[in-house]
Amino acid sequence: MFDEIAARIRQGKRTIAFPRGEPVLPELFRGLPAFGAGKCAAGCRRCMDACPCGAIEAGDGKPAVDMGKCLFCTDCAAACGTGGIGFSREHRIAASRRGDLIFRGGPPPEVLALGGDRGILKRSFKLRQVSAAGCNACEADVNVLNTVVFDLGRFGVQFVASPRHADGILVTGPVSRNMLLGLKKTWEAVPSPKAVIAVGACAISGGIFAGGEVMNGVDGVLPVDLYVPGCPPHPITILDGILRLLGRAG
């Protein structure tokens, strides 16, 4: 017992300071898309042709990136060759509105805090996680939030086993047709007021599975309150989105 106490003292505090302090992100972290000023040649489609998910659209002098489809793979940046497109280290990429994920430059997307009768969820928010045919990448990064490093419970947010004990559902995966009924039943079992969070490109748009035997995301089935893009999103990005949804960021 004394050895265990001594070990804990040596280890010190493991929980990150975020959101009170700036997050420590890995060197290869890819966040909000970044555009090089004046570096897009007229008629150039190299970034669009390189994108495996059709996430890049032509814009006025520069492309627009649909972060709901984007895999953050950097194939577009490699194909560009002029620095016209890339990715910043800005972790705040979650949004309340699907349209806000189509990024053309500027500040990060906005997340609207739950209001009205759902305002009661801000201090105690229980989620039922549903893997709707996910590959387990987004699921793994969601699970990481329960570790001592991120300690999601310190914000009053917890994952529960039953939707009847939940205040909302967090969905990963493209929603396969085989999971459609299960997802709907889970949603119906959650008592009102409730919320829906879509995590990852698959849950937002179908990702690399779009056009197959999937529903191409959650919002064609359920009303989504928070979109968290990425393939998979970094745990900090997921945590930031949830905290902003609860009006508790910063």
Phi, psi dihedral angles at 120 (to 5 degrees): -70, -10
Give pLDDT, residue 51: 95
pLDDT value of residue 164: 97
Q: Mean pLDDT, the chain, as a whole number?
A: 92
Q: Give the contacts of 93 (CB within 8 A, at least 6 positions apart).
A: 31, 32, 67, 101, 108, 109, 228, 229, 230, 233, 237
Of residues 127 and 60, more confidence is placed in 127
What is the DSSP secondary structure assignment for residue 206, as one 8-state letter?
-
Tens digit of each residue's pLDDT (9 = 90 or more) over 177-214: 999 999 999 999 999 999 999 999 999 999 999 999 99
Quote the CA–CA distance of 153 and 147 in Å, as a whole number: 9
Tally Cβ neighbours within 10 Å of residue 44.
17
CATH architecture of 116-245: 3-Layer(aba) Sandwich (3.40)
For residue 29, what pLDDT is reported?
A: 96
Q: What is the pTM of this model?
A: 0.93
Which pair of structure tokens corresponds to residue 68?
């709901």
pLDDT single digits (tens) 204-236: 999 999 999 999 999 999 999 999 999 999 999
| Contacts (Cβ under 8 Å, ≥6 apart) of 147 | none
Question: CA 41 to CA 152: how far, in whole Å?
Answer: 45
Rounded Cα distance between 6 and 248, Å, is: 34
Question: Domain-by-domain residue ranges, the chain?
Answer: 116-245
Which pLDDT band, with edges at 50, 70 and 90, does 2 fall under?
Answer: confident
What burial class does residue 250 get, using C-beta atoms within 10 Å of its C-beta: 0-12 exposed, 13-18 middle, 19+ buried? exposed
Q: Which two tokens stand for residue 116?
A: 């009205």
